[in-house]
């Protein structure tokens, strides 16, 4: 697993997807830059989300609010008081951990034991193996599962009650039961606020302390009435936004999974009080359907319903994805009640109510939110797509099987040789296609090597121009995943690509 993840990181670098920020200065930890291909993949994910959320829903509109916000916003939202991570230091290794993440690392160790049992049983029973039944009935597996649940329940309870002493005790007990850090010398657990501070204004005495926003959602809440009125929106309706968020994450690791500067794609859906259960279920389903539409395999997703709820929520679930380091949160769906709007009413002194013409009454709407990290989605797509394939002739190829709609380059146009007018015809084809898609030209090396290069880059189509092309205006089109080649008229190429890559 660790090796797979290393491959993902090095592939992302080698093929111009993701680089460490400020690399020539030895990098900045947990900050990353998206390069020529990465920027395209990220843009395509963003657009795929925007289209599904804003364009296809009559009652959802977009917003692009500022990163800087009035500092009182973060008091009202609870971030000043409650946006904390519990930290613990190991006195021997001098390493700092997020206490809750550390506990999850222990449970992941137990999960790995379950995986081992499953693999063993699978081998033993072959085709007759029923995984679901095995997970539910095998006493050892059931025992492990109970262990995990007990640990997480206790963690949730102690964090909720701010019983940081018990969190420390839990870590000490776990270290004895299944050693992980190799050291038992811990400090007490302390709370640490995750917001980045900055200053607005030049002179020291008039400068105002601000925060870089830790989530995009608050920009939506403070604009709720402006959008509702100017757009004459009727409840239920949603406001969607994509933008940067900043968190001073302490345990910054796992590549772009947890960064200090990242992008969120959030949607707040405003509803009648009392209808939140229904809308919460609807959005859970809709969001899962969006993920599955990319064809990355239903077995790689699962819901995780929260028992421990944040101060603003009355129900919450994560959509978890199977990353190379295990199932982890990719998206959150939260029923936020009227917490945010109600709180902004209190702090601002302005009414944030909606007059419901059908009920003939005014109220503070309830909110169901969907919130997904764009960078996490990038990692999900990228890591899931990278495969090492055994071919019939005993060789292997590295393929980045990105969903075609998301691939940075849709086609590569390759003249078989660098003479006889083939490059010129290839260029003509590019000039025609480039108004519709990103296409790339490549004439270097034997055509087989060029195919491999495009496979590794995730390009779904290779269009090869040969001598026959000059005579009958046809080319071969090679499909990345099947490696099948078809001879088609040049005039058909555009439609063939459109069919696969259009959102």
Window contacting ligand ATP (CB under 6 A); options: 137-145, 256-264, 435-443, 493-501: 256-264
Asked if residue 155 lies in contact with residue 169, where contact means CB atoms within 8 angstroms, the answer is: no
CB 247 → ligand ATP: shortest distance, Å?
Answer: 5
Name beta bridge partners: 319: 303, 331
User: Taking CB under 6 A as the rule, does residue 332 contact ligand ATP?
Assistant: yes
- Nearest residue to the partner ligand ATP, using Cβ: 373
Q: How many residues does the chain have?
A: 503
> Strand 326-337 and strand 60-63: pairing?
unpaired
| 497 has binding-site annotation | no
Asked if residue 82 lies in contact with residue 70, where contact means CB atoms within 8 angstroms, the answer is: no
Judged by phi (left if over 0) then psi (alpha if -120 to 50, else beta), residue 211 lies in beta
| 249 has binding-site annotation | yes
Window contacting ligand ATP (CB under 6 A); options: 234-242, 366-374, 387-395, 433-441: 366-374
User: Taking CB under 6 A as the rule, does residue 330 contact ligand ATP?
Assistant: yes
Please give the Cα distance from 477 to 440 (Å, whole number): 14
The contact pattern for ligand ATP, residues 220-249, with x = CB under 6 A and - = no contact, is ---------------------------x-x
Q: Give the N- to C-terminal CA distance of the chain in Å, as an integer.
A: 32
Q: Counting Cβ atoms within 10 Å, is residue 391 exposed (0-12), middle (13-18) or buried (19+)?
A: exposed
Nearest to 101 by CA among 310, 264, 328: 328
Calculate the CA 75 to chain-centre distance.
27
Query: What tokens appear for 485 in the block?
Result: 């080649």
Window contacting ligand ATP (CB under 6 A); options: 45-53, 167-175, 258-266, 486-494: 258-266
> Considering only residues 32, 221, 237, 262, which one is a binding residue for ligand ATP as defined by CB under 6 A?
262
For ligand ATP, give the closer residue by CB, 312 or 451: 312
User: Taking CB under 6 A as the rule, does residue 279 contact ligand ATP?
Assistant: no
User: Taking CB under 6 A as the rule, does residue 375 contact ligand ATP?
Assistant: yes
Residue showing tokens 């811990």: 186
User: Taking CB under 6 A as the rule, does residue 105 contact ligand ATP?
Assistant: no
Helix (H) or strand (E) run with residue 92 in it: none
User: Taking CB under 6 A as the rule, does residue 264 contact ligand ATP?
Assistant: yes
Within 10 Å of residue 12's Cβ, how many Cβ atoms?
A: 26
For ligand ATP, give the closer residue by CB, 244 or 467: 244
> Considering only residues 20, 259, 268, 385, which one is a binding residue for ligand ATP as defined by CB under 6 A?
259
Query: Binding site residues for substrate, as ranges?
Result: 98, 215, 262-266, 369-373
- Which residues lie near ligand ATP (CB under 6 A)? 215, 247, 249, 258-259, 262, 264, 329-332, 371-373, 375-376
Query: Binding site residues, as ranges?
Result: 98, 215, 247-249, 257-266, 329-330, 369-376
């Amino acid at each position: 697993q660790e090796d797979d993840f290393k491959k993902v990181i090095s592939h992302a670098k080698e093929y111009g997807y993701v680089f460490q920020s400020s690399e020539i200065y030895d990098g900045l930890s947990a900050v990353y830059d998206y390069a020529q291909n990465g920027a395209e993949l990220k843009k395509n994910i963003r657009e795929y989300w925007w289209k599904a959320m804003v364009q296809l829903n009559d009652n959802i509109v977009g917003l692009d609010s500022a990163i800087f916000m009035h500092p009182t916003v973060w008091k009202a939202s609870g971030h000043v008081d409650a946006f904390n991570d519990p930290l613990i230091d190991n006195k021997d290794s001098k390493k700092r951990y997020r206490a809750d993440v550390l506990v999850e690392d222990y449970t992941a160790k137990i999960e790995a034991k379950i995986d081992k049992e499953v693999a063993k049983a699978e081998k033993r029973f072959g085709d007759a193996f029923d995984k679901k039944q095995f997970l539910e009935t095998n006493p050892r597996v059931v025992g492990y599962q109970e262990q995990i649940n007990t640990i997480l329940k206790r963690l949730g309870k102690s964090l909720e009650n701010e019983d940081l002493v018990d969190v420390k005790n839990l870590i000490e007990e776990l270290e004895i039961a299944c050693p992980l850090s190799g050291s038992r010398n811990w400090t007490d657990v302390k709370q640490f606020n995750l917001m980045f501070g900055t200053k607005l204004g030049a002179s020291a005495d008039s400068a105002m302390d601000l925060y870089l926003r830790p989530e995009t959602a608050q920009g939506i809440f403070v604009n709720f009435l402006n959008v509702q009125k100017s757009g004459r929106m009727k409840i239920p309706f949603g406001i969607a936004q994509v933008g940067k968020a900043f968190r001073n994450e302490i345990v910054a690791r796992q590549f772009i999974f947890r960064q200090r500067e990242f992008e969120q794609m959030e949607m707040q859906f405003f509803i009648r009080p009392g209808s939140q259960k229904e809308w919460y279920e609807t959005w859970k389903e809709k969001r899962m359907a969006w993920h599955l539409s990319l064809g990355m395999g239903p077995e790689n997703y699962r819901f995780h319903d929260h028992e421990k709820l944040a101060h603003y929520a009355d129900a919450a679930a994560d959509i978890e994805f199977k990353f190379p380091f295990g199932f982890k949160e990719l998206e959150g769906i939260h029923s936020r009640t009227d917490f945010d709007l109600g709180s902004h009413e209190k702090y601002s002194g302005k009414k944030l109510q909606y007059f419901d013409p059908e009920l003939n009454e005014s109220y503070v709407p309830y909110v169901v939110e969907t919130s997904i990290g764009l960078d996490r989605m990038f990692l999900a797509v990228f890591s899931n797509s990278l495969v090492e394939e055994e071919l019939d002739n005993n060789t292997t190829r590295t393929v980045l099987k990105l969903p075609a709609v998301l691939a940075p380059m849709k086609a590569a146009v390759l003249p078989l040789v660098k003479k006889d007018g083939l490059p010129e015809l290839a260029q003509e084809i590019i000039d025609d296609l480039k108004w519709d898609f990103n296409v790339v030209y490549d004439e270097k090396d034997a055509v087989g090597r060029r195919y491999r290069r495009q496979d590794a880059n995730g390009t779904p189509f290779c269009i090869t121009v040969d001598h026959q092309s000059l005579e009958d205006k046809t080319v071969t089109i090679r499909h990345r995943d099947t490696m099948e080649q078809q001879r088609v008229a040049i005039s058909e190429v555009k439609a063939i690509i459109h069919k696969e890559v259009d959102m």
